[in-house]
Amino acid sequence: MVILNVERKKEKGKEGHLGKYEFGETIGEGNFGKVKLAKDIHTGKLFAVKILDKNKPIHLNNTDRIKREITTMKVLKHPNVVRLYEVLASKTKIYMVLEYVTGGELFEKIRSKGKLTEGSGRKIFQQLIDGVSYCHNKGVFHRDLKLENVLVDAKGNIKITDFNLSALPQNFREDGLLHTTCGSPNYVAPEIIANRGYDGATSDTWSCGVILYVILIGYLPFDDRNLAVLYHKIFKGEVHIPKWLSPGAQNMIKRILDPNPRTRLTMAMIKEDEWFKEGYIQSNPEDGEEDIHSDDEVLPIKAVQHEAIKGSPRSSTLINAFQLIGMSSSLDLSGFFEKEDASERKIRFTSNHSSKDLIERFEGIVIEMGFRVQKKNGMLKVTQENKTQNSNQPLSGSRGI
């Protein structure tokens, strides 16, 4: 879950309170706001409250994303999906009262303890498929499935969270496909990168396959610091599957991480697979037949909500790489995927800091890491005498870009 630090302010005349909720520590932070632990003062039950602050810089189409997330989550009632209980609003903030999941991100579990046993990994995967297929049946396509957006409760069961990038039936175009390029690079399906339209269910399935690979093997199937090289690997779909995995697990990963969406396994096909069905106990939805109909059916807080998320006149609009790609329906990325020359590998980025400040920071960091720094003609050259390097890269976070 991606989340941000803002100063604590008094709400309704009492610091650390909002209605019946008493706020505790901040348990998450990122670019949309923050998440605080909260307690119902009447029942003592704990919740996670996602706080969105209108005074912070907002991303492109952030208002629509918030509406969509609330609209989506209010009808999702499944044991493997984080529950949204209610939405409150003040003049400056929106508060989404969510189910509190005690175990943290699946990402942190894998990073700290390593890969799971095949039996444990299969159980996690079964719950993931149950939760994602339930969302699809409700007309919700997550579009940012990754280890960081899968939480683990005290009993070891998983909860899917962060529907900020989710798509609804009305987001499909006349061709029946989605066209917004979004997600997290290591988990994104090849058809999304191709930017020619994609099926939300099929692309979510690919992301589930990446998650299965990581929990069983311990590292990402597609990884590179250079985005163009990473996307080339995803397009080719050539993934190394260790022979020590059971034939059933190998076959499952291979057929889900199929770069051709037409021949990739569907959710229904996954559930019929013999490896998947071993020890399978289906999770039962907790709702009735309510479905999602309109983005406008948010919750009865519309007027206050609009005020809470309206951007400040001084707020800058930030556009991420995937949004920029998505602005051009004809953009072809194939030109990026020439043969890679490691000596020419470059990483480009933007920053609000001055070049002098950035160079000083880089120089300090690399010196601490034991490298040598040489400055010439405004360029930095970093060298290290000992060139031995471990080829097994540790699992690193994959935040949306």
Domain ranges of the chain: 10-101, 106-277, 351-386
Outline where DSSP puts E strands in 355-401: 372-376, 379-383
Annotated binding site: 50
**Per-residue pLDDT tens listing for the chain (401 residues):** 333 333 334 334 344 888 899 999 988 876 667 899 999 999 999 999 998 876 664 554 566 777 788 888 888 999 999 999 999 988 878 899 999 998 888 998 898 889 999 999 999 999 999 999 999 999 999 989 999 999 999 899 999 998 888 887 777 787 778 888 888 999 999 999 988 888 999 999 999 999 999 999 999 999 998 999 999 999 988 899 999 999 999 999 999 999 999 999 999 999 999 999 999 999 888 765 444 443 333 344 433 333 333 333 333 344 444 444 444 444 444 444 444 444 444 555 667 677 777 788 888 787 877 778 887 766 777 777 554 444 455 566 654 44
204 labelled catalytic: no
Tokens of 311: 């951007």
From CA 332, how far away is CA 316, in angstroms rounded? 28
Q: Which DSSP symbol is given to 167?
A: B
Beta bridge partners of 37: 48
Please write down the long-range contacts of 284-292, taking CB distance under 8 Å and 24 or more positions apart: 284/79, 285/77, 285/78, 285/134, 286/77, 286/78, 286/79, 287/75, 287/76, 287/77, 287/78, 290/75, 291/75, 291/138, 291/139, 292/71, 292/72, 292/75, 292/138, 292/139, 292/140, 292/168, 292/169
Nearest to 50 by CA among 75, 33, 68: 33
Question: For residue 126, how many other CB atoms are within 10 A of its CB?
Answer: 22
Tokens of 317: 């609009």
Three-class DSSP category at 51: strand
Domain 106-277 in the same topology as domain 10-101: no
pLDDT for the residue numbered 161:
92
Residue appearing with tokens 């396509």: 141
pLDDT for the residue numbered 66:
78
The answer to whether residues 233 and 193 touch, using CB atoms and an 8 Å cutoff, is: no
Nearest to 294 by CA among 170, 180, 174: 170
Residue from 130, 144, 204, 224 carrying the catalytic annotation: 144
- Specify the CATH class of 10-101 in words: alpha beta
What is the number of alpha carbons within 13 Å of residue 250 lying toward its C-beta? 8
Residue 276 CB contacts under 8 Å (≥ 6 apart), including other chains: 122, 125, 126, 129, 252, 270
Residue 310 CB contacts under 8 Å (≥ 6 apart), including other chains: 54, 63
From CA 86, how far away is CA 256, in angstroms rounded? 36
From CA 337, how far away is CA 325, in angstroms rounded? 16
Annotated binding site for ATP: 50
Tokens of 103: 């175990």
From CA 279, how far away is CA 267, in angstroms rounded? 18
The answer to whether residues 11 and 90 touch, using CB atoms and an 8 Å cutoff, is: yes
Tokens of 45: 């039950």
Tokens of 32: 């949309």
* Total length of the chain: 401
Question: What stretches of 218-319 show up as alpha helix (H) in DSSP?
Answer: 227-236, 247-256, 267-272, 274-277, 302-309
pLDDT for the residue numbered 178:
83
From CA 83, how far away is CA 280, in angstroms rounded? 23
The CATH architecture that domain 106-277 belongs to is: Orthogonal Bundle (1.10)
